[in-house]
A and B are shown apart, each in its own frame.
Chain A
Amino acid sequence: MDYKEIKALKAKFEEVPGTYLFNADRCRQGYWLNTFCSSMSKDENRKAFLADEAGYLDSRFPKLTKEQRRCVLDRDWLGMIKNGANIYYMSKYGATLGRSFQYMAGEMTGQGQDNYRAMMMDGGRTTKGNLHKKQNGGKVSCISNKSGKDFSKKA
Chain B
Amino acid sequence: MAKITAGIGCSHVPAIGAAFDQGLTQDAYWKPLFDGYEPAREWIKKHKPDVAILVYNDHGSALTLDLIPTLGIGVADEFQPADEGWGPRQVPVVKGHSALAWHITESLITNEFDMCVMNKLDVDHGLTVPLNIMCGKVDDWPFAVIPVPINVVMFPIPTGDRCWRMGEVIRRAVESFPEDLNVVIFGTGGMSHQIHGERSGMINRKFDTAFLDDLSKNPQRLRYIKHEEYTTFAGAEGIEMVMWMVMRAALGDNNVHEVYRHYHVPASNTAAGLIILENDDLKKPQKKSAKKAVKKAAGKKTPAAKKPAGKKAAAKKAAVKKPAGKKAAAKRPAAKKPVKKSPPKAAKKAVKKVAKKVAKKVAKKAVKKPVGKKAAKKK
Contact = CB atoms under 8 A, between A and B. Distances in A.
A124 B201 contact: yes
B195 A101 contact: yes
Contacts of B155: 13, 21-24
Contacts of B220: none
Max chain A CB contacts within 10 Å: which of B60, B61, B233?
B60
Contacts of B110: none
A62 interface: no
B60 to A, nearest CB: 4
A96 B85 contact: yes
A74 interface: no
A35 interface: yes
Query: Which of A81, A90, A108 neighbours the largest number of chain B CB atoms within 10 Å of its CB?
Result: A108
Chain A contact residues: helix, strand, loop or mixed: helix
A116 B201 contact: yes
Contact of A94 (B85, B199, B203, B228): B85
A17 B199 contact: yes
- Among B15, B83, B196: residue with most chain A CB under 10 A: B196
A121 B196 contact: no
B236 A91 contact: no
B268 A101 contact: yes
Contact of A124 (B14, B60, B203): B203
B231 A19 contact: yes
A110 interface: yes
A145 B60 contact: no
Contacts of A96: 85
Contact of A109 (B14, B66, B198, B266): B198
B195 A87 contact: yes
A104 B269 CA distance: 11
A108 B86 contact: no
Interface string B140-175: 000000000000011110000000000000000000
Nearest to A99: B85
B194 interface: yes
A18 B85 contact: no
Contacts of B269: 101-102, 105, 120
Nearest to B266: A120
Contacts of A12: 228
B296 to A, nearest CB: 52
A41 interface: yes
B204 A127 contact: yes
A2 interface: no
Interface in B186-209: 194-205
A86 interface: yes
Given A102-B15, A124-B271, A27 B65 contact: yes
A88 interface: yes
B198 A86 contact: no
Contacts of A23: 154-156
A37 B64 CA distance: 10
Interface in A9-51: 9, 12-13, 16-24, 27, 31, 34-35, 37-38, 40-43, 46
Interface of B: 14-15, 18, 29, 59-61, 64-66, 82-87, 153-156, 194-205, 228, 231-233, 236-237, 265-266, 268-269, 271
22 contacts: A13-B228, A18-B197, A19-B194, A22-B153, A23-B154, A34-B60, A37-B60, A43-B83, A86-B60, A87-B196, A89-B60, A93-B85, A101-B15, A102-B15, A102-B269, A108-B198, A110-B198, A123-B265, A124-B201, A124-B202, A124-B265, A125-B202
Interface of A: 9, 12-13, 16-24, 27, 31, 34-35, 37-38, 40-43, 46, 78, 81, 86-96, 100-102, 104-105, 108-110, 116, 119-121, 123-127, 130-132, 140, 145
What 6 pairs between A and B have smallest CB-CB spacing? Answer: A124-B203, A95-B85, A18-B198, A18-B199, A92-B85, A88-B59
Given A21-B236, A23-B155, A124-B266, 10 more contacts: A17-B199, A21-B155, A22-B154, A27-B154, A41-B83, A101-B268, A105-B195, A120-B268, A125-B199, A131-B233
